[in-house]
Amino acid sequence: MTTLLGCRSLVQEAAALRSGADDPADAVRRTCDRIDAVDPLLQAFVPEPGRRARLLAAARELAAAAPGGPAERPALYGVPVGIKDIVHVDGLPTRAGSALPPEELAGPQAAVVDRLRAAGALIAGKTVTAEFAVTAPGPTRNPHNPAHTPGGSSSGSAASVAAGMVPLAIGTQTVGSMIRPASYCGVVGFKPTYGRIPLAGVIPNAISFDTLGCYATDVAGIALAAPVLCDGWRTGAADGSGRPPVLGVPAGPYLERAGDEALGALRAQREALTAAGYEVREVPVMADFTEIVEQLFTMNRYEVARAHTHWFARHAARYREQTAAAIREGRPIGDAAYEAARERREAFRERLAADGARAGIDLWIAPAATGPAPADLTTTGSSIMCLPWSNAGLPSLSLPAGRAADGLPLGLQLVGRAGADEELLSWAAGIERALNGTAGDAAA
């Protein structure tokens, strides 16, 4: 029986393709062979007749147009990438996990896809999303156990990397749609600071929160992709002090939402990090967490409803129950209530930043999800552990870190300061080594 799990290192694959040791056509064959072998069960990719022929033609075109030497080849030369199906790609329909006619959803190619193609990437295909990136799950299954959800809404993107179909995939997060699937599927997921990757050409969920991000098997892969994807990336940027980051645990009602296995894993992660030379401080925050949740969903549902005004008026019967319910919840929310919620969010952001600064925190650490992936394909799981950080627009990353009693992966969420994505990735590499038992230098 073919194993459903796979590991394709983006750094190794990109290096081999740039050097000429590997060929884009071979990378395409590897991708298509793997999709053919495991995706009939996992259903991470939107079905595409003629995928292999399209990709082989694109690989030949890339090779013919590529500069002669490895030094001239771009960062992602020949690398196959999965693209969440709310992101427009020229030549591929956008269905957004919905039953709406694709021509209704059509639009110009997304800026993020332009950047990938300019960096030499090949678009392996569209990955499955929850309907309109809300909560109604697609058919994707978890590669660690197909009876369990892969999370959502970026379900196909996380599962495709975990199953070794592609070394890099693009997703989006509104509340927990990247970090949670990364945790459930045992891969690294990176959600940059809000606005760091342009959203042009992406079907909106809630525009005040929607953020593009990416998946890879390790932090090094994320660090290779981030400069391609993000605006104004400061290559080589890191904390100049040379010290390890001070880690903050957000004690209080927020953390109490995590389940026993997630909290037990967090204790073990704290012990490993302390042993590796990191200082970990408990910081009481978000005493009003219930009100923070209410504020976010007031804004979220208002924006979801407005994003679907025209489509829902024409095609309400084609929407799935969960999406339709979210739209209907948002329609009665008035402009005054929405603006009040926006003001409360701004106050929350300022308070959270001040709490972190007062405690001397460089990174927050918390469970990436409430626990392992539920054994339920009718849900994408709870996004609550990601909610405050998405509300604040902060960069976050999920690292595979431990396993639950049933063997499913658990993730540790790292959250940085707004705009400090470069520092987050630099520090995450050292934390990754510490959690893997290979740390020798916490400041690295």
Return the closest-CA partner of residue 161 out of 173, 147, 151, 174.
151
Return the percent helix, strand and coil in the chain, to nearest 5: 45, 15, 40
Please indicate whether residue 84 is annotated as part of the active site. yes
- CA atoms of 304 and 315, how far apart (whole Å): 15
Please indicate whether residue 153 is annotated as part of the active site. yes
Which among 84, 126, 396, 398 is annotated as catalytic?
A: 84
416: left (phi over 0), alpha (psi -120 to 50) or beta: beta
Please indicate whether residue 177 is annotated as part of the active site. yes
- CA atoms of 185 and 163, how far apart (whole Å): 9
For residues 92-117, b (16+ Cβ closer than 10 Å) or e, as one string? bbbbbbbebeeeebeeebbbbbebbb
Is 293 in a helix, a strand, or coil?
A: helix
Which among 98, 153, 160, 183 is annotated as catalytic?
A: 153
Which DSSP string corresponds to 370-402? SSSPPS-TT-----TTTHHHHHTT--EEEEEEE
Contact assessment for residue 253 and residue 219, using Cβ atoms and an 8 Å cutoff: no
- CA atoms of 248 and 284, how far apart (whole Å): 10
Which among 154, 155, 160, 177 is annotated as catalytic?
A: 177
- CA atoms of 172 and 132, how far apart (whole Å): 11
State the catalytic residues: 84, 153, 177
